[in-house]
Amino acid sequence: MSYIDELIGAVGKEKVLTDPAELFVYGTDWSPRTPTEFNPPDVVVLPRTTRDVQRTIKIAFEHDIPVTAGGGLTGMLGGAVPIHGGIYIDTTTMNSVVEVDSKNQTIRVQAGATLQEVNDAVHPYDLWLPHQPESKWVSTVGSAIACDNDSTFGVRYGKILNCLLSAEMVTGTGEVLELGHRKAHFTSSGYKLMHLLAGSEGTLGVVTEATLKLEPIPETRRVDMLVFPRLGAAVDYLSRLLKAGLCIEAAHINCKHRLKFYTHSYKQKFGKDPTIPAWAEALLAISFAGDKKVVDFQREQAIELSKEFEAQLVEERELVESWWASKYTLEFEPFKQKWPDSQTKKKFGAADPGIPVGRLEEFYHKFIQTAEKHRLEILGMNAYLEHPNSIGFSLSCAVFVDYRSKEEVKRFREYHDELSKMAIAFEGTMSTFMSDTYQKAPYLELEHGASLRYMKEIKRLFDPKEIMNPGKKFLRRGDSP
C-alpha cells in the first residue's frame, strides 16, 4: 500500500487530491517565477480538523515524506511552495470559528480562516482583530503566523504576535501541542515557545488553531496624507508626533517613486493630476482613531506640528481615500490603476529588509542604485511601521518583474539577495514580512552567526526527520546552496 492510499484511508477519499490538474494550482504563489517554475506537490490533503492534520503528518513521518502547509498561497517569495513535492496540506478547509468570547475580547479560530473572516465573525460584538495586512481577504490566520506578515495598523497594535495568545500545532512527528498563555495577555511562566511560531514558515509544524486578542472597534477614523522634502523629514515628524503623546493608528512612508504610483492612479481615475509639489520626495499617510473629539484634537495637533518639518497637507481627499481603499479596503476599479491590473504584464516583486530608524534615507538611495544596477523597473519603497508606539521599519523595496523572462527573474533574485545582505551590513535584518523561504536560507548564518546552530537544534526537536516545509529557512540535508 502506498502512503497516498494510507492518507485516503486515514482522512477519507474526499479530502485527498491526486489529479495533476488539481495539484498544478498548488505549485506556485505570487512571487516572481517563470511559467516553467512550478513545483506541484504529489498529493494534497484538505483537512477539516486537527486530527486530520495529525494523521497526515504521522503517515508522512513514517514514510519520510515532505510536508508543506499553506493558506491562500499569496506569499511573495515562495514560502509555501512545495519545492520538494510530497504532501501539501491546504489549511483553508479548516476555517471554522471555535469560540467568540466577547467578555474577554478573544476569538478561538481554526488556522485556515482568513483574517477578514475573523473580523466578520467578531464585528457583531463591536470588536475587531487589528492585524490587517492588505491581503486579509486571502491571508489566513495560520499563514499570518507562519510568515509574520505586516499590518496596516502596526504602529499602534504591532504584528500578529501582539494579537496571538495561544496556538495549537502539530509537530513534525504528529504530536499535538498547545503553545501560549491561553486567554491571558502575557506570561513569565516557562519558555515562550509560542513565539517560535511567528515567522517559522511551517518548518516546525502546522498551526491548526489559534486564540487571538481582539480590540473594541473605534468610533471614528481620520486618514490624511502629507508630503515632505525628504524621507528623513517624514521620520523626524513621526518621532515628534510620538514625543507629543499622540496615539497614531497607522503610518506609512512612501518614497517619491511610490508617490508617483498613487498620483498615476489618481490621474487614471479622475483625468487630472493632483496638486503635489515638484519638491515632494516623500509621502506620509497617517490615521487617528477613537472617539471623534479625541480624533479631531489629535489630528489638529498633528497638522500644527507638521509646519516644523516643511510638510504640506494633501488636499485632494480623492487621492487620500483612493490610497486608503488600496491599503485597507482593497476596492479597486479595473483599469484605473497599475495594481493589480499590471500583474498580467509584470509581477510586483520586493525585498523586505528591516533597517535602523536613523538610516532610512541612506538605505533608500542604496535601494534605487541596486535596482538600477540590475536593470529593474522601480515601483518604489514603502516603509511600514510595525512596532507599537515607536518607529520600527518594515520595508517593501518594490520593483516590477517580467515573470515571462527567465533572465529578468534571475536579475530580480540577485537584486533581492544584494539588498538582503546590505540590510545586515546596515545593522538590520534580511526579512520583516516575507520570512526567509529558500531565497534567504544561504545567508542565515550571515545574519545570525553561531546562534544558527541553536535554531537548527530547535528545528530537529520539533521535526527530527526534517520533513516540514523542507528547504525553507535551512537547506535540507543533501541540498546545494
In-domain check, residue 334: no
Q: In terms of domains, do 426 and 447 share one?
A: no
Sign of CA dihedral 354, 356, 360, 364: negative
Q: State residue 262's pLDDT score.
A: 76
Q: State residue 312's pLDDT score.
A: 96
pLDDT tens across 124-169, in order? 999 999 999 988 888 999 999 999 999 999 999 999 999 999 999 9
Q: In terms of domains, do 67 and 46 share one?
A: yes
Q: In terms of domains, do 453 and 393 share one?
A: no
Q: State residue 348's pLDDT score.
A: 87
Task: Tell me the mean pLDDT in the region 50-74.
Answer: 97
Q: In terms of domains, do 295 and 270 share one?
A: yes
In-domain check, residue 6: yes
Q: State residue 271's pLDDT score.
A: 79
Question: What backbone torsions phi and psi does residue 459 show, to the nearest 5 degrees?
Answer: -55, -45
Contacts 24+ apart (CB under 8 A), 60-66: 60/3, 60/86, 60/87, 60/467, 61/172, 61/173, 61/174, 61/465, 61/467, 62/3, 63/3, 64/465, 64/467, 65/3, 65/467, 66/467, 66/469, 66/470
CATH number of 149's domain: 3.30.465.10
Count the domains in the chain: 3
Q: In terms of domains, do 47 and 112 share one?
A: yes
In-domain check, residue 335: no
Q: In terms of domains, do 376 and 252 share one?
A: no
Confidence of residue 335 (pLDDT cuts 50, 70, 90): very low
In-domain check, residue 104: yes
pLDDT tens across 75-129, in order? 999 999 999 999 999 999 999 999 999 999 999 999 999 999 999 999 999 999 9
Confidence of residue 479 (pLDDT cuts 50, 70, 90): low
Q: State residue 101's pLDDT score.
A: 98
Q: Mean pLDDT, the chain, as a whole number?
A: 93
Confidence of residue 475 (pLDDT cuts 50, 70, 90): confident
Q: In terms of domains, do 163 and 268 share one?
A: no
Whether 41 has a pLDDT exceeding 50, the answer reads yes
- Give Rg (Cα) of the chain: 22
In-domain check, residue 45: yes
Give the range among 36-40, 108-112, 142-146, 233-237 with minimum mean pLDDT. Answer: 36-40
Q: State residue 331's pLDDT score.
A: 56
Q: State residue 330's pLDDT score.
A: 55
CATH number of 383's domain: 3.30.300.330
CATH number of 279's domain: 3.30.70.3450
Whether 276 has a pLDDT exceeding 90, the answer reads no
Whether 188 has a pLDDT exceeding 50, the answer reads yes
Cell of 125: 460584538
Task: Tell me the mean pLDDT in the region 26-46.
Answer: 94
Q: State residue 481's pLDDT score.
A: 47
What domain range includes position 449? 1-217+438-481
C-alpha of 71 from chain center: 12
Q: b/e string for 415-449 if b means 16 or more Cβ within 10 A?
A: bbbbbbbbbbebebbbbbbbbbbbbbbebbeebee
Whether 296 has a pLDDT exceeding 70, the answer reads yes
Q: In terms of domains, do 291 and 351 share one?
A: no
Q: Pick the residue with more confidence: 336 or 322?
A: 322
Determine what percent of the chain is predicted with pLDDT higher than 90.
84
In-domain check, residue 336: no
Q: State residue 273's pLDDT score.
A: 78
Q: State residue 333's pLDDT score.
A: 56
Three-state secondary structure call for residue 160: helix
Task: Tell me the mean pLDDT in the region 271-287.
Answer: 89
Q: In terms of domains, do 88 and 10 share one?
A: yes
Task: Tell me the mean pLDDT in the region 28-43.
Answer: 92
Q: In terms of domains, do 245 and 302 share one?
A: yes
Domain boundary at 288, 307, 329, which? 329
Q: State residue 329's pLDDT score.
A: 67
Whether 270 has a pLDDT exceeding 90, the answer reads no
In-domain check, residue 281: yes
Question: What backbone torsions phi and psi does residue 110 show, to the nearest 5 degrees?
Answer: -70, 150
Please state the pTM of the whole predicted model. 0.93
Domain boundary at 268, 300, 329, which? 329
Domain boundary at 329, 359, 379, which? 329
Q: In terms of domains, do 201 and 168 share one?
A: yes
Query: What is the β-pairing status of strands 250-255 and 377-385?
Result: antiparallel
C-alpha of 349 from chain center: 14
**Cα distance between residue 10 and residue 1, in whole Å:** 13
Under 8 Å CB-to-CB from 275, ≥6 apart: which residues?
Answer: 315, 316
Q: In terms of domains, do 170 and 266 share one?
A: no
Q: State residue 452's pLDDT score.
A: 96
